[in-house]
Structure 1
Amino acid sequence: MNERPPAKGFDPDQAKAGAKGGATGRIGVLLVNLGTPDGTDYWSVRRYLKEFLSDRRVIETNRALWWVILNVVVLTVRPSRSGAKYRSVWNKELDESPLRTITRAQGEKVAAALAARSDAVVDWAMRYGSPSIASRIEALQAKGCDRLLVFPLYPQYSASTTASVNDKVFDALKLIRYQPAVRTVPPYPADPVYIAALAQSIRTHLAGLDWQPEAILASYHGLPKSYVDKGDPYRAQCAQTTESLREALGPLGTKLSLTFQSRFGREEWLQPYTDKTVEALARDGVKRLAIVTPGFAADCLETLEEIAEENKEIFLEHGGEHFTFIPCLNDSEGGIRVLLHLIERELKGWV
């Protein structure tokens, strides 16, 4: 991957550069993950949370009411709390969040795998924070990309994640006179390459322990139940992933159960809740527990802090003895194989 300039606003005029004299026929592949603050201090986290929690795809509450709650309550209290959590998992060597480190590595490894193809240019962006989607579309156009494959890094579809990424892409395209042709990678909840990579990562991780779990939880990011009631397919796709993974694991799969984490506010969210399930398992006498997070393409605050730290503490406090968190696919060989498989599939007809 080429080095990028510092994050900046989108300049639609500069995006014309790659189109001068006609398109060069290159294809831009843009990997997009959720986002990250630029630092762990109050104001960095506040800026990130404000952008994230102002997204109408994420929060569907009455806008006037939510504006008051967000600006008077949430953005006053939560930045300090979230900043402390980010500090517990922060990549101090690079001074950035693990999500940015891993997403960059994913982009670089995908780019290296596609390096033999002169028609493909790979880049990465964040839906919230930097590098922004608009800035990376600008960079790809400047390199002569007249076609764009956008890859929202969410295996299961939700309007609050996948659709939000696509919204931001098309918001950027609205400002471009010479727009690239666009494709988006669809969700892949039961893709056999993805499921095989997950199953292998679980087997490999457990093989390195001197104990075996009595139960394994597949924990997915939560979603308000009302979103699913309105037609969001997220819960069904999480169940599809879990069932496919259960089958791929064979006898080990009988230990696998689905839960949802990271709920926020007083509204009912998808159940069963991960933290409540962890507590109940420990109280019921389960001593050995493993958790995997199939809905995350890269480890982040919600996996490294909420699962690997908070839920481990809950389990041990209520009688559990052995706990392990199984990392996301990240930029592992299996993880990159999944990304390349899906990219190659979606590029058919363009190459």
Structure 2
Amino acid sequence: MNSFRLRKKGAILIAVLVVLVGYIVYPYFNLYKAKNLDILSFDSESISLEIENDVPFTELANYLYQKNVINDTNSFNLLIDYKNYSQSVLKKSKITIQRKWSNNVLVNQLYLMRNQKIISLTVPSVRTLEDLANHISKFISVDFTQLYASFTDPAISAKYGFTTVQFPCMFIPNTYEVYANFNSNQFISFMAKEYKKFWNSERKKKALKIGLSQSEITILASIVQSEQSLKYDEHSTIAGLYLNRLNKNMKLQADPTVKFALNKPELRRLYYRHLEVDSPYNTYKYAGLPPGPICIVDPRVIDAVLNYEKHNYLFMCAQPAYSGYHNFSSTNAQHEKFKKEYTDWLKNENIH
């Protein structure tokens, strides 16, 4: 009788322990299960989602469900509660969600994205990638050294289909909406997408008709812009002149390329000794286009090249006085006349 009672008490105790252990363990089992669930509804590698307004994390599951991003709100909310994220808010922004993310990774990534700040960032038309890195690093969370190292990394430029010296072609000056916490790779990836947007089918067709690649168009535009930085109405005329010279296999003989080769953009006047610099950028010495652009090109100048003016000009010379315009010629004799007028004016102005 006593042994029966003991066995009965033991069975009750075991049952109580099982219930108690189950009570303690079951939530953790559910939590473990929830963390590893695949609750994403889309099949593509990733999606971009515009968060139109601030969304509290307590409402985020329903928001994502309505956007057809997730298919299980309960498991999502379970992790939100467990991680004490309920008081957080996902700010208005544009986010990217990867298909490979588990429920746990998704929740963690959204939490990290919650305070992403969008800023208006102007990518300027500057002379070099070093200048660009110096400017950009003042506005996003990456330092100059790291950004410039990425700009000049051959592996990175090759990844986007450029040589190192042609990589400046990928940066199209404009004002963009970007995340303030961009790192160097994210910024470069963003600019690559904007480059593809800029080079739409219409622009590609025009480049193909001219017979130059997109990079070659940009390289030519960089010379046009450097020749004429004041009067935008001359750009299409200058572009037509250089295309005429290329088509006749004439050297471009563009002064800005020599200044770039010498790394002396401040030179106001070139002498014959300057023209002897041995550099592939010296278009007095080498025929064709230089290997890369000599500045980050204003997109308006790229369009001026694509829509170049058709004429017979082969020569140009700055006009005397300070008009900012050029005299154009179809013959060398006419060009020499304009050149003498200009050099005489330089002497009178004591410009060396």
TM over 0.5: no
Question: Under a length normalisation based on structure 2, what TM-score does the superposition of the two structures give?
Answer: 0.24
Question: Under a length normalisation based on structure 1, what TM-score does the superposition of the two structures give?
Answer: 0.24
Higher strand share: 1
Q: Which one scores higher on RCO, CA 8 angstroms, separation ≥ 6?
A: 1
